[in-house]
Structure 1
Amino acid sequence: MTKTAAPVSLAILLPVLASIMAVSPLAIDLYLPAMPVIAAELSTDMSMVQNSLSIYLVGYALGLLFFGPLADKYPRRYLVLTGLIGFIGFTFLLLLCKSIESFLAVRMAQAFVSSAATVVVPGTIREYYGKDTAKGLSYVSMIMMVAPMIAPAIGSVFLTIHSWQAIFIGLAAYTCIVVAMVAKVLPNSTQLSRQQVSFLGRYKIVLGHKGARLDLISSMMISLAFFAYITAIPFVYLTVFKVNEFWFSVLFAINVLALMTAHFINSRLVVRKGSRRMLQFGLMVSIVSSSALLLVNMLALPLAYTVAAVLPLMGSISMVAVNADALILQEFAKQSGTATAVIGVLRFGVGGLAGPILALAYDGTALPFSALMWCSVIVVVICQLPHFIGAKHKHNNKQLTDTHGDVS
């Protein structure tokens, strides 16, 4: 028999899950202001330190591949504690690095082990929310997004007061607090898979599921739009439109607020409308706003027009992403960890293509960035058309049946 988890208040559980998910954004964003100092101290150039971001994403994706199937087989609390304690250990190891090579190696190991903690979060939400999984994902995402908003500012404070090492000591201290909360609050899964399925067999189940395939592609392609924004927006705002660093920070924060607003709206409506309807609503807004962004940059209009188009676009693609993920997870009650790994690897894998694509299409303007976002949205539209057409036929058949019933 499967041991039933003790009841946990969602008001307590959701902030804990958001705190776990915030570990990686903090690990990525906290030390951004310290990159020049780290480069100088490790006797390397900035580009090598910047590579630590890509290294972190690669390590995280590899970790998802490894830990995803394990999350379906072993108690989640133990996996989260293993990931967080390992993350703390590698974070302290960063303080001892004397070369850029050792720094990059430890960063990859830090990211790899951290994924053991985060891979269980979507499955936990799915277990507690069921068909309303998108509501729980939206709540967690909304809380978690505070981290990338404030992380660079906190990193600057640590750097000013002490050193770049203080940033990672602060990160380790935060993670220790999360460990204490997890040990006290996080329940173990009541839906562990007892099937004798091999490691690769679990991936075969997820990847071979026809009902989830189009949503997986949708999640992947909407992530390409998101990573196109993350990759290009510093160049667009700072170089193309020549705003200063202060206004760049303000505009970036406003876009994060747009993401949070979209998640709040989704959490309010998804229970009544359903994830499929909310995905379609977000996609309609994405089509309009991405088309507007493309037109604005084709006509080389002033900054205000780009900002006005980007705000609803970022909010809407986040709504598409969270509902696509919820629809995928609902298909895999016993393989939620593996499904989360597949989503994450596809997301980071295609996200890594944004930089090379934008580099190849570089023309000194914001047009390649807006074109890539528009193309990504269009691919999602194509993937969702069968669902849209199927829902429309179902609605028409219901109306026809109701009409015949009234005539009878």
Structure 2
Amino acid sequence: MNALTPKHWLLVFVLASLTALGPLSIDMYLPAFQTIATDLNTPISHVQISLSCFLGGLAVGQLFWGPLSDTYGSKKPILISLCLFMVASYLCTAVDQIEYLWGLRFLQALGSSGGLVIARAIVNKRFSREQTLKIYSILALIGGIAPIVGPIVGNEILKHFHWHALFVAMLLFGLIGFSMTALFLKESDEESISTAPKSANFSVYLALFKNRQFLIYTIIGSLSFSSLMLYISNAPLLIMEEGGLSGDAFSLVFGLNSIGLMLGSFLTSTVLQKHLTPRRILFIATGIQLIASALLLVLLTQSFSIYAQLIALFFFVLPLGMLFPTATTLALRPFKAHSGTASALFGASQLAFTFLVSLVVNHLSNGSMLIMALALLSCALLSFCANVFAPKSA
């Protein structure tokens, strides 16, 4: 396996700052939902719409910035997207109506999606076949910190400042990403300019849909992301309302599960990739998830202790740290020349799957955690089956 040089690590640090921007922008303002609702004299459900607008912007933005990076290189699209993010963040500091927040959060996401999608593409273009899984695992490891750090930073800001200050902090994070990209990301560090005609980049999407390897591993990655979002959205209900634990206990459990996800990413980047193929890693990870989700469903059905349920939930979340980097590696591997476009469709598919899964779960939900557990089990089962039928040559 090719060792990473100091130059590689500097590039990874830049990419990490870009990929963390979106998750931080989501998690930092979650503690302020009630405050925003009160201040803007609107129901909290209307504040939640701003989160949906952000996720929508992430999906649309990735489809836009990915093909652009294949045509015009990586650096300029990233810098332009971060400028959009910073301008939208600044305008959020003056919001006095919820409708303005919806639109500006969409533009914020449109901006942050540039760094996210192009960072994945840079890894696929710049690093060797042996290095990509390690780098994606490192990025996933750093991404796992956001659910821990984001709410903590948001809470601390809210203790001393108005909720508008949260968007000042986001602007500063965007400025850090902009500065690091401008100073340290060199176009010569990657095969950034596509040799295909500029008019052909969007037509690459058709080739992606025809590629079995890309489709299967994009499905696995999308199901994994949907599982994570289902867990995040239902965790407060399961742990505090159903389980009867305190808010402090919820924060502890949420943090431990985030550490579990990071542990899965760490193991993938170190021990597992040295001894196992990426496809084998996926087989093990989906198998663990399948067992853990089945156990969680049984524990909920039989009304076992919340602590037993949390153990099963931990072992469902941990393999996500193995699934994210491995599925990304295998999905993008055949498309080095069009990494931006492939990364765009891969990322947008994750959000589209999550949206559809959420619609189905919300439609079927009757307030019982059994629906959530069945959804997690279904995602795990589909991921396991998809990996079984994946190309053996991947």
Counterpart contact for 2:61–2:111, Cα < 8 Å: yes
Counterpart contact for 2:126–2:191, Cα < 8 Å: no
Number of the residue aligned with 1:341: 344
The reply on whether 1:367 has 2:370 as its aligned counterpart is: yes
Question: Structure 2 vs 1, CA of residues 130 and 272 (structure 1 numbering), >3 Å: closer, same or farther?
Answer: farther
Q: Give the secondary structure class of the aligned counterpart of 1:164.
A: coil
Number of the residue aligned with 2:308: 305
Identical-residue share of aligned pairs (%): 26
TM-score scaled by structure 1?
0.90
Aligned-partner residue type, residue 75 of structure 1? G
Q: Give the secondary structure class of the aligned counterpart of 2:71.
A: coil
1:387 Cα offset (Å): 3.6
Number of the residue aligned with 1:195: 196
User: Of 203, 206, 231, which aligns to 2:208?
Assistant: 206
Distance 2:213 2:253 in 1: 39
Number of the residue aligned with 1:181: 180
Distance 1:229 1:101 in 2: 28
Q: Give the secondary structure class of the aligned counterpart of 1:160.
A: helix
Counterpart contact for 1:19–1:144, Cα < 8 Å: no
Q: Give the secondary structure class of the aligned counterpart of 1:331.
A: helix
Segment drifting more, 188-197 vs 112-121: 188-197
Number of the residue aligned with 1:108: 106
Number of the residue aligned with 2:15: 17
1:251 Cα offset (Å): 0.5
Distance 1:376 1:68 in 2: 27
The reply on whether 1:50 has 2:48 as its aligned counterpart is: yes
Counterpart contact for 2:74–2:192, Cα < 8 Å: no
Aligned-partner residue type, residue 315 of structure 1? L
Q: Give the secondary structure class of the aligned counterpart of 1:352.
A: helix
Segment drifting more, 57-66 vs 144-153: 144-153
Distance 1:8 1:350 in 2: 37
The reply on whether 1:319 has 2:322 as its aligned counterpart is: yes
The number of residue pairs the alignment matches comes to: 384
State how 1:168-317 maps to structure 2 within 5 Å: 168-188=167-187, 189-196=190-197, 197-268=199-270, 269-317=272-320
Counterpart contact for 2:125–2:339, Cα < 8 Å: no
TM-score scaled by structure 2?
0.93
1:113 Cα offset (Å): 2.1
Distance 1:178 1:224 in 2: 27
1:149 Cα offset (Å): 0.6
Question: Structure 2 vs 1, CA of residues 10 and 130 (structure 1 numbering), >3 Å: closer, same or farther?
Answer: same
Counterpart contact for 1:135–1:271, Cα < 8 Å: no
Aligned-partner residue type, residue 181 of structure 2? V
1:187 Cα offset (Å): 2.2
1:8 Cα offset (Å): 6.3
1:166 Cα offset (Å): 1.3
Counterpart contact for 1:231–1:354, Cα < 8 Å: no
1:264 Cα offset (Å): 0.3
1:89-124, Cα deviation, whole Å (9 max, x unpaired): 110011122211111111111111221222111111
Could you say which structure has the larger radius of gyration? Answer: 1
Aligned-residue CA RMSD (Å): 1.7
Aligned-partner residue type, residue 211 of structure 2? H
1:370-408, Cα deviation, whole Å (9 max, x unpaired): 1111111111122122248x58xxxxxxxxxxxxxxxxx
Number of the residue aligned with 2:122: 124
1:120-152, Cα deviation, whole Å (9 max, x unpaired): 111111233322312111111112322221111
Distance 2:161 2:233 in 1: 30
Distance 1:186 1:287 in 2: 40
Distance 1:77 1:262 in 2: 31
1:271 Cα offset (Å): 4.1
Counterpart contact for 2:226–2:350, Cα < 8 Å: yes
Task: Specify every segment of 5 or more residues in structure 2 that has no aligned partner in the other structure, as ranges.
Answer: none
Counterpart contact for 1:15–1:143, Cα < 8 Å: no
Task: Specify every segment of 5 or more residues in structure 1 that has no aligned partner in the other structure, as ranges.
Answer: 1-6, 392-408
User: Of 94, 98, 101, which aligns to 1:96?
Assistant: 94
1:199 Cα offset (Å): 4.3
Aligned-partner residue type, residue 219 of structure 1? G
